[in-house]
Amino acid sequence: MPNNAQLEPTIIVIFGAGGDLTRRKLIPALYNLLLDRQLPERFAIVGVARKNMENDSFRQRLRQGIDQFSRRGVVDESIWNAFANSISYLSENLTDPASGLALHARLTAIEEEWGLRANRVYYLAIPPPMMKPAAVMLQRLGVCRDCRHDRLVVEKPFGRDLASARALNLFLDDMFIESQIYRIDHYLGKETVQNILAFRFANSLYEPIWNRRYIDHVQITVAETVGVEERGEYYDHSGALRDMVQNHLLQVLCLVAMEPPITFDAEDIRNKKVDVLRAIRPIRTEAIHRVAVRGQYRKGTIAGKSVAGYREEKNVSPSSSTETYAAFTFHIDNWRWQGVPFYLRTGKRLPAKVSEISIIFRSPPHQFFPSAAVESWQPNRIIIRIQPEEGIGTRIQVKQPGTRLLLGAAEMKFRYKEAFQTPAPEAYETLLLDVIRGDATLFMRADQVECAWQVVSPILEAWESIPATDFSDYAAGSWGPEAADLMVARQGHNWLPPTFAEES
Ligand code: BG6
């Protein structure tokens, strides 16, 4: 059982505590950490939001969130009671210049009761326009000044373009020290995403062939079956490029493409990732139509159920031109990856929830088998399945049983669930525990966020300047617009349908 004795007493203050993220992800994650005895022995959660609410109704709401969304199902009554005792709620209006007194008093009261200065984690689960008022308030109260004890977690979206991300970085930089700031991207907390590092660098088998000499191209797919659900207002001002590509997909790309770091130190790893972002070939405006595709779902059918089109969703403009699907071809200009296309795609209302990386290898340099034997030949490929059914699969060619020489593809599969009995923690569990421990390895540094914005900026600008007119261009339940197939077909490739789950 992991040991929590070394963890220092911690108070987590969640701004935006009335929101969905708190109920669906943060509180279930903290509850699961408690179940695993991974929270510090002295621990408190203070929820802050604008609305007036009693502690009890706040706790009740969180309890329902755990029952509904925790990977472990409904709460255990006695453990919940202990957990609930550590939770309290405060109503604060962050834009009020006199706000924060109640928060200051609550922090002081908890620390007086514990008889010590606790570590304080301020989790900003609030929309971008509220980030500055929250930071100003913390600064004014003087409650986030100790760079060893006080940390700030900043949820995505971090800005809405390069200029606003830069401005936010400068602003935070003026008030806090970079090592206090934890910019979160929950994809980096997923087990299989972290496993990319282990797979690549803890095995001597793959790294020698992980380059342009052996790899033909790479595909990264993050597909979702859900639509925009209750988040129409946010999403309609964001779109797939800002919501998924600038952060999650580019971070995954970095892990696939980065050079080996010298040590496991957070800065070493982040430096290597930034190198990848800096090496991504800038997209020229006149080439955008060839390397970037956007789409929006119209009504269709998913798992036998008919679903509405994007423009009919709640809080979405009926004439919206926000993209719910995006696909790109990126090139990385360095020695390792010159000439290897990286295809990325993500979309809502696609036929399956699946996040997968496919590494497709080149053909053998010399094919000496008789042509009849290799009729159904397929290139080797490695699939890293991020979710669901986390695992890794390798496709190889084998002789098919029989008296004739006929080659066929076979899969070698490793599945987390089968290989290890311990269930994987949720991404937010890993990341929250890292913040409590003060380990920033899985968080994004200021320059990393800015470089990622730099990569998508030309596309953002082009898409914003040429509004898409007829935009209902893929049916919900399909694999996205045809233009995305054409984009890869122009280079002689095709999107690989995710196969891992179907075969399992
Ligand atoms: C979030 C996006 O960051 O990631 C959502 O804002 C998306 O739109 C979600 O649905 C996907 O995360 P996961 O962990 O379900 O793949």
Residue 147: give its domain's CATH number: 3.40.50.720
Quote the DSSP letter at residue 443: S
User: Which of ligand 1's atoms lies nearest the C-alpha of 228?
Assistant: 8
The domain boundary residue, chosen from 105, 137, 155: 155
Ligand 1 pocket, residues with Cβ under 6 angstroms:
224, 243, 355
Considering just the CA atoms, what is the radius of gyration of the chain in Å? Answer: 24
Say if residue 136 is in the same domain as residue 250.
no
pLDDT, average across residues 99-108: 93
The DSSP annotation for 322-355 comes to: --SEEEEEE-B-STTTTT--EEEEEESS-SS-EE
Residue 180 lies in a domain: no
CA-to-CA distance for 42 and 49, rounded, in angstroms?
23
Q: Give the pLDDT of residue 224.
A: 96
Residues with Cβ < 8 Å from 353, sequence gap 6 or more? 223, 224, 225, 226, 387, 388
Which residue do the tokens 């959660």 mark?
45
CA-wise closest residue to 502 among 378, 417, 388:
388
Chain segment 239-261, per-residue pLDDT in tens: 999 999 999 999 999 999 999 99
Say if residue 144 is in the same domain as residue 215.
no
- Residue 1 binned pLDDT confidence (cut-offs 50, 70, 90): very low
pLDDT, average across residues 133-139: 93
Q: Which two tokens stand for residue 152?
A: 């700030």
User: Which of ligand 1's atoms lies nearest the C-alpha of 224?
Assistant: 10
Residue 163 lies in a domain: no
Residue 270 lies in a domain: yes
Residue 181 lies in a domain: no
At 216 the three-state DSSP class reads strand
CA-wise closest residue to 106 among 8, 7, 10, 13:
13
Say if residue 151 is in the same domain as residue 75.
yes
Residue 3 pLDDT > 70: no
- State in Å: Cα 325 to ligand 1 middle: 13
Say if residue 337 is in the same domain as residue 239.
yes
Estimate to the nearest angstrom the gap between the alpha carbon of 258 and the chain centroid: 18
Residue 80 pLDDT > 60: yes
Nearest residue (by CA) to ligand 1, atom 2, is: 243
Residues with Cβ < 8 Å from 304, sequence gap 6 or more? none
Chain segment 119-129, per-residue pLDDT in tens: 999 999 998 88
- State in Å: Cα 378 to ligand 1 middle: 33
CB neighbour class for 20 (10 Å; exposed up to 12, middle 13-18, buried from 19): middle
CA-to-CA distance for 315 and 357, rounded, in angstroms?
33
- Residue 6 binned pLDDT confidence (cut-offs 50, 70, 90): confident
Say if residue 137 is in the same domain as residue 263.
no
Give the domain range for residue 392: 188-503
- What is the Cβ-side half-sphere exposure of residue 278, based on CA atoms within 13 angstroms? 9
The share of the chain scoring above pLDDT 70, in percent, equals 97
User: Which of ligand 1's atoms lies nearest the C-alpha of 243?
Assistant: 6
Residue 173 lies in a domain: no
Residue 422 pLDDT > 90: no
Chain segment 275-326, per-residue pLDDT in tens: 999 999 999 988 998 999 999 999 999 989 999 999 999 999 999 999 999 9
CA-to-CA distance for 285 and 263, rounded, in angstroms?
38
Say if residue 30 is in the same domain as residue 101.
yes
Chain segment 192-207, per-residue pLDDT in tens: 888 999 999 999 999 9
Say if residue 148 is in the same domain as residue 196.
no
Strands 305-307 and 325-330: unpaired
Say if residue 385 is in the same domain as residue 462.
yes
**Domain tally, the chain:** 2
- State in Å: Cα 143 to ligand 1 middle: 31
Residue 504 pLDDT > 50: no
Say if residue 366 is in the same domain as residue 421.
yes
How many other CB atoms are found less than 10 A from the CB of residue 245? 27
pLDDT, average across residues 171-190: 93
The 10 Å CB-count burial string (b at 16+, else e) for 422-461 is eebbbbbbbbbbbbbebebebbbbbbbbbbbbbbbbbbbe
Say if residue 239 is in the same domain as residue 99.
no
- State in Å: Cα 155 to ligand 1 middle: 12
At 159 the three-state DSSP class reads coil
Q: Give the pLDDT of residue 503.
A: 47
Say if residue 368 is in the same domain as residue 320.
yes
- Give the CA dihedral 365, 368, 370, 371, nearest 10 degrees: 20
CB 445 within 8 A of CB 186: no
Residue 501 pLDDT > 80: no
Nearest residue (by CA) to ligand 1, atom 8, is: 243
Chain segment 354-397, per-residue pLDDT in tens: 999 999 999 988 888 888 888 888 899 999 999 888 899 999 99
More confident residue, 254 or 498: 254
Residue 165 lies in a domain: no
Residue 497 pLDDT > 90: no
Mean pLDDT in the chain?
92
Residue 166 lies in a domain: no
Rounded to two decimals, what is the model's pTM? 0.92
Say if residue 137 is in the same domain as residue 194.
no
Q: Give the pLDDT of residue 214.
A: 97
Whole-number Cα distances in Å, 471 to 140, 322, 324, 376:
47, 9, 10, 38
Q: Give the pLDDT of residue 127.
A: 87
- State in Å: Cα 300 to ligand 1 middle: 21
pLDDT, average across residues 445-466: 94
- State in Å: Cα 161 to ligand 1 middle: 19
Chain segment 52-70, per-residue pLDDT in tens: 999 999 999 999 999 999 9
User: Which of ligand 1's atoms lies nearest the C-alpha of 156?
Assistant: 3
Q: Which two tokens stand for residue 456?
A: 């998508």
Pocket test for ligand 1, best of 183, 224, 225, 346 (most atoms within 8 A of CB): 224
Residue 406 pLDDT > 60: yes
Nearest residue (by CA) to ligand 1, atom 5, is: 243
pLDDT, average across residues 258-277: 93
Q: Which two tokens stand for residue 277?
A: 């972002």
CA-wise closest residue to 135 among 95, 105, 164, 165:
95
How many other CB atoms are found less than 10 A from the CB of residue 248? 22
User: Which of ligand 1's atoms lies nearest the C-alpha of 386?
Assistant: 16
The domain boundary residue, chosen from 155, 174, 202: 155
Chain segment 21-48, per-residue pLDDT in tens: 999 999 999 999 999 999 999 999 999 9
pLDDT, average across residues 150-156: 94
Task: Show the 3-state SS of 37-105.
Answer: CCCCCCEEEEEEECCCCCHHHHHHHHHHHHHHHCCCCCCCHHHHHHHHHCEEEEECCCCCCCCCHHHHH
CA dihedral sign of residues 55, 100, 133, 247: negative
Residue 241 lies in a domain: yes
The catalytic residue positions are 248
Chain segment 332-364, per-residue pLDDT in tens: 999 999 999 999 999 999 999 999 999 999 998
- State in Å: Cα 225 to ligand 1 middle: 11
CA-to-CA distance for 42 and 82, rounded, in angstroms?
12
Residue 420: give its domain's CATH number: 3.30.360.10
More confident residue, 434 or 191: 434
